[in-house]
Amino acid sequence: MWQKLRAIEAQTRNRSIAESLFCAPDRASDFSLCVDGILFDYSKTNIDDETRKTLVSLAEKAGVKERRDAMLRGDKINKTEGRAVLHTALRALEGGGEDGAIMVDGEDVIAQARLTYERLKTFARDLRSGDWPGKGRRITDVVNIGIGGSDLGPAMALRALGPYADGPRCHFVSNVDGADLRDTLHGLDPQTTLIIVASKTFTTLETMMNARGALAWLEQGCDAPMDQMVAISSAPDETDRFGIKRENVFGFGDYIGGRYSIWGPVGLAVMVAVGPENAAAFLRGGAAMDAHFATAPLDENMPVLLALVGLWHQKFCGYPTRAVIPYEHRLARLPAYLQQLEMESNGKSVAMDGSPLAHGGGPVVWGEPGTNGQHAFFQLIHQGQDVVPCEFLVGAEGHEPDLRAHHDALVANCLAQSEALLQGRGLEAARNSLISKGYSRHDAERLAPHKVFAGNRPSTTLVYPKLTPYVLGQIIALYEHRVFVEGVILGLNSFDQWGVALGKELADGLIPAVAGGDLPEDINGSTGALLRYIHVCRKA
């Protein structure tokens, strides 16, 4: 299939996407899919019927259906760590998904997750109502300390759900740079602040340093600091050592990866801010996408099609990056969230059996919200020599009816950008446009090459009715399953992340030297010189 797809791409690479749309009036409907209110349009790509059929055959041959079913029933598909992959179980707790038992090592994952979920809801309701911790002081602010999935997920979701946030104010600390903690705590009252420490192992360097700093801050300003600290962790011995009460610890199984953990206890800050009812709607949206992914034929399956379009562009067209451009200010953190989801999952060089990947790993993912990106990197996207497929997201409606004109302009810009990427502008059109604006023929000839847009650049557009908790759940689950499908087809394990370990190990060894101790004997010349210069600067 790989060879056939390469041959198809070679035959069609110079074909005009715009002409394909013009010559086939039904192309927009034939190359789009609407599921539960979300429309995915991939008609502005060079994919035709034959390409799509062959891509779907590639997915079938790779065993996407079989691997999907194995994941959903709790098989240990994370082979390198010997773990099941069951973040989908966390969103089956509010209906809309399979709520029967899922057994892993003799334990009912669903039953365990439901018990924790009920505890989370009670905790969030008590905190929001002022009944917790029962000391007569209402919690006004929550500080979530975590990193990676323990930060990116809740921070992204809370910003996305801003219109629904009517609980305590939530803040996020992730960077080990002391400025992050200091700036976040500045202006907060220790007596009315809850600290959530989110670390699965409760040993993560950055998180635990920030947790100790936050504890010292609480100790200076309140009588019982441990009453105002909560742990999201599956390491009760470590949380005991830190001093956090067992009733304030919420754990989750090793079948939940960090970047997939927003659906469970890691989402506590979000539940506190928007309330258990809205958090439940978020879960239902994810469960609805799960049900579609689990049952729809591959050629009518939104996560599968999203994955196949991405693979087509990266592996066959040779475009190494993709830009995610949400035309939704509240999705400003979505590109960063998807960077981790995609690149930590599929940024691999070896297959499941440890052999080199035959076709390489996943793409570079980046982006910013529109319209800001239009005034930053869109110059390169439109006129640069490297083609960057764009994935646009936009809501049909916003949350500000009194600012409808703003949203109209936002949507118009989103559609215009995909149109500009498609149509482009040739030399003659650029010359005529300049002349029509009053430029002399000489100046028009001189400037016209600078006004040329190559066009024929692919994009997809995801349109949703309005950014609600339910819709956000749909979107996140959609991208999670997309990453899974890509990983299966590429033949890698999307659920480990060994690549983050080496730098952490080396950092642990360098901390004493940075603090002023002797340099390690095996340190290289460059790092040694950098450390010596840092010491000189500190002594100046």
So which residues are the catalytic ones? 344, 375, 504
Q: What is the DSSP string of 195-254?
A: EEEE-SSS--HHHHHHHHHHHHHHHHH-S-GGGGEEEE-S-HHHHHHHT--GGGEE---T
What DSSP designation does 56 have? H
The angle that helices 49-62 and 64-73 make with each other, rounded to 10 degrees, is: 50
User: Which residue, 211, 511, 468, 227, is CA-closest to 331?
Assistant: 468
Contact 486, 305 (CB under 8 A): no
Tokens coding 209: 């340093």
Q: Residue 378 gets which letter from DSSP? A: H
Does residue 133 have a cis bond before it (omega within 30 degrees)?
A: yes
| Beta carbons within 8 Å of 75's beta carbon, 6+ residues apart | 84
CB 110 within 8 A of CB 99: yes
The C-alpha atoms of residue 444 and residue 452 are separated, in whole angstroms, by: 12
Length of the chain: 540
Going by the DSSP 8-state scheme, the letter that residue 418 receives in this structure is: H
- What distance in Å separates the CA atoms of residue 256 and residue 84, rounded to the nearest whole number? 8
H or E segment to which residue 321 belongs:
strand 321-327
